[in-house]
């Protein structure tokens, strides 16, 4: 029992993966979002900016893209080009089972 008490100490919370969608304008600013408000805003802004930049850099390379999907081990980011901006979908890829 002594061991069990040791394990019960309070700990900082772990950050869950973002899930939802957002629309982003051509400057990488988030226009609308369905991602939980508890998720850090600065990280979402970074996602938005990087996505818009990826589309812009592809255009510069004469490889204009209409859509891309980034496959991470535990998250998929799908982005569709929309008038210079983008619609972004964040979908956790981990299989969560409930016993």
Partner 1 sequence: MDSRHKILILDDDPAFLELYKEWLSELPSKPEIHTSTNGARAMALLEAEPFRVLICDLKMPKMDGLQVLSIVRRRFPELRTIVMTGVEDEEFRSRAYALGVDLFWLKPDTQQNMQMFLECLESLLGRDAENGFRGIQSKSLMDILQMECLSQSSTVFRITRGSLVGKIWILNGDLIDAETEGARGEAAFRRILEWKSGTFETLPSEPERERTITKSINALLLETAQAIDEISSPVEGESAEEADHRKTVWRLATLTREGCEWVVSLPNEDEAAPEAWGTQSAAEFAAWMRHASKAVQRLGEKIEAGPWSHIKAQNLERKLILLPSKNKTCLVAWPPSSDSSEIFEQSKKLVTSWDS
When the beta carbons of 27 and 46 are compared against partner 1, the nearer one is: 46
Contacts for 76-85 with beta carbons within 8 Å, 24 or more apart?
77/47, 77/51, 79/51, 79/54, 79/55, 81/55, 82/23, 83/26, 84/25, 84/26, 84/52, 85/23, 85/24, 85/25, 85/26, 85/31, 85/52
61 binds partner 1 (CB under 8 A): yes
- The one among 22, 30, 77, 88 contacting partner 1 by CB under 8 A: 77
27 binds partner 1 (CB under 8 A): no
For residue 32, the minimal CB distance to partner 1 (Å) is 20
């Amino acid at each position: 029992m002594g061991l069990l008490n040791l394990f019960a100490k309070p700990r900082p919370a772990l950050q869950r993966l973002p899930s939802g969608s957002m629309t982003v304008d051509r400057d990488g600013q988030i226009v609308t979002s369905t991602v939980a408000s508890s998720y850090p805003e600065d990280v979402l802004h970074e996602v938005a900016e990087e996505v818009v930049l990826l589309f812009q850099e592809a255009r510069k390379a004469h490889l204009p893209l209409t859509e891309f999907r980034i496959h991470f081990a535990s998250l998929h980011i799908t982005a569709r080009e929309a008038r210079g901006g983008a619609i972004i979908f964040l979908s956790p890829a981990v299989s969560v089972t409930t016993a």
